[in-house]
C-alpha cells in the first residue's frame, strides 16, 4: 500500500501550514500514524489524526479543520476526479500494488461464459485498469471501460456513484470488479442490472456477487411496501459535511406533504437504530445522507428509505410500477 506522500509534501511546501489534519479509513490508520510522525519530525508541523470513521469522499473535513484551526485537511484513501473539496480538504491517493494476472487466470471458468466484459474498480486500483484490460483482451475477451463523469475517473465507481459502468451496461454481458470490496461490487451490480464478478487478488478467487445484489434488491423492495401505508414520516438530514443534502431533504418533505402525509424533520450525524427508536410516533423514515444506509446497512425496526426508494414509493402511490429504481448512475 502506497500513500501519495509526494502530493502531501508538495501541498505542505506550497501552503506552509502550521497545523494539518489527516483522515483515512480504519485500514490505513497504522500507516497514517507513521506518516504523521514523519511530517512532525521532518517539517515541524503539528499533525492531528482524525479518529472518526471515514466512509468515503463524502466525509470531507473542512468544518473539522476550521474548528481545530488547521490549515489543510488531507483526506487519504478516497480519491476522485476532483482533487480538492471545500476550502481546506485535499484528496490523497492510496495505491494497492497487487497483481490481478493470477486471479484472472484462475477465474477463467467463471468468466468464459461471457464475451463482452466491462471492468471497474475503486480508487486504490485504478492504476491497474490498463494492464488488466490488456490481460483480458489477450485471453480473448472484449473489454469496455466506461468514461468518468463529474467526480469519477474512467472505470471508477463509488458507493453511490456508478456512471462509468451504468453508461456501458447495454454494451456488456457482465461486469468485472477489481478488488476485495463486495460493498462496491454489489453496488455496481444493482446500478447496471448486469451479472457482476468480483476478482479478489488477495484470496485469488472470483466471486459472483449477483445473488447478493438480488437479495439486497428484494429487501429494498420490501421496505417500499412496508412503508406504503405509512401516514407519519420522518425525513432525516445528514449532518456529515459531505452528506448534508438539505435541499433534497426539503424536496422530499414537500413531496410527502403533497401526498397528504405528516412529516417530522430530523437531523443526525450517525443514522442508527439506537437514535431513531426514540421517535415513537413515526411510521417510516426517509434519509438523504447516504443511500447505502437504507439499501445494505443495519436492520431498522421501521422502514428507512433512500432517495431512489422514496421516489419509487411515489410511483406506487401514483398507481404505477416502481420499475428498476436502483438502476441509476447516481443514488442521490
145: domain CATH number? 3.40.50.11850
Which alpha helices (DSSP H) does 173-318 contain, by range?
182-192, 210-227, 246-258, 273-276, 291-296, 307-317
From residue 216, alpha-carbon distances to 133, 157, 190, 326 in Å are 29, 18, 9, 11
Cα–Cα distance for residue pair 166/193, rounded to 1 Å: 9
Question: Are 53 and 143 found together in one domain?
Answer: no
Q: Is residue 331 part of a domain?
A: no
Strand arrangement of the beta sheet that strand 232-238 belongs to: 262-268, 232-238, 284-287, 304-305
Q: What is the mean pLDDT of each run of 10 residues along the chain (332 residues)?
A: 92 94 92 96 95 81 89 89 83 92 94 96 95 96 95 94 97 97 97 98 96 95 95 95 89 98 95 92 96 86 96 97 94 93
Question: Are 185 and 250 found together in one domain?
Answer: no
What pLDDT score was predicted for residue 244? 85
What pLDDT score was predicted for residue 323? 87
Q: Which of 144, 178, 208 is at the close of a domain?
A: 208
Question: Are 134 and 196 found together in one domain?
Answer: yes
Sign of the alpha-carbon dihedral angle for 154, 157, 162, 166: positive
What pLDDT score was predicted for residue 168? 98
Q: Which of 69, 94, 119 is at the close of a domain?
A: 94
Q: Which of 151, 186, 208 is at the close of a domain?
A: 208
What pLDDT score was predicted for residue 185? 98
Q: Is residue 322 part of a domain?
A: no
Q: Is residue 324 part of a domain?
A: no
- pTM reported for the whole predicted model: 0.92
Amino acid at each position: 500500500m502506497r500513500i501519495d506522500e509526494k502530493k502531501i509534501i508538495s501541498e505542505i511546501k506550497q501552503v506552509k501550514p502550521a497545523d494539518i489534519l489527516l483522515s483515512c479509513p480504519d485500514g490505513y490508520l497504522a500507516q497514517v500514524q507513521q506518516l504523521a510522525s514523519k511530517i512532525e519530525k521532518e517539517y515541524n508541523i503539528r499533525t492531528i489524526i482524525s479518529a472518526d470513521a471515514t466512509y468515503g469522499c463524502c466525509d470531507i473535513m473542512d468544518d473539522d479543520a476550521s474548528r481545530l484551526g488547521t490549515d489543510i485537511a488531507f483526506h487519504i484513501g478516497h480519491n476522485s476526479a476532483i482533487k480538492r473539496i471545500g476550502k481546506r480538504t485535499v484528496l490523497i491517493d492510496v495505491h494497492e500494488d497487487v497483481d490481478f494476472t493470477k486471479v484472472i487466470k484462475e477465474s477463467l471458468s467463471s468468466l468464459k461464459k461471457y464475451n463482452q466484459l466491462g471492468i471497474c474498480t475503486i480508487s486504490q486500483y485504478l492504476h491497474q485498469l490498463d494492464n488488466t484490460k490488456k490481460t483480458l483482451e489477450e485471453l480473448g475477451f472484449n473489454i469496455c471501460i466506461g468514461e468518468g463523469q463529474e467526480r469519477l475517473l474512467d472505470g471508477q465507481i463509488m458507493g453511490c456513484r456508478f456512471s462509468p459502468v451504468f453508461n456501458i451496461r447495454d454494451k456488456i454481458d457482465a461486469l468485472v470488479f477489481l478488488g476485495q470490496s463486495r460493498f462496491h461490487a454489489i453496488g455496481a451490480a444493482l446500478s447496471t442490472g448486469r451479472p457482476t464478478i468480483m476478482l479478489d487478488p488477495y484470496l485469488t478467487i472470483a466471486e459472483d456477487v449477483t445473488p447478493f445484489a438480488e437479495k439486497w434488491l428484494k429487501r429494498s423492495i420490501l421496505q417500499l411496501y412496508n412503508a406504503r401505508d405509512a401516514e407519519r414520516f420522518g425525513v432525516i438530514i445528514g449532518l456529515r459535511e459531505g452528506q448534508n443534502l438539505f435541499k433534497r431533504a426539503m424536496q422530499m418533505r414537500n413531496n410527502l406533504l403533497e401526498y397528504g402525509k405528516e412529516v417530522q424533520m430530523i437531523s443526525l450525524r450517525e443514522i442508527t437504530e439506537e437514535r431513531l427508536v426514540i421517535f415513537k410516533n413515526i411510521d417510516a423514515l426517509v434519509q438523504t445522507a447516504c443511500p447505502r444506509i437504507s439499501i445494505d446497512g443495519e436492520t431498522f425496526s421501521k422502514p428507512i428509505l433512500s432517495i431512489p426508494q422514496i421516489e419509487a414509493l411515489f410511483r406506487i402511490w401514483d398507481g404505477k410500477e416502481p420499475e428498476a429504481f436502483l438502476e441509476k448512475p447516481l443514488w442521490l
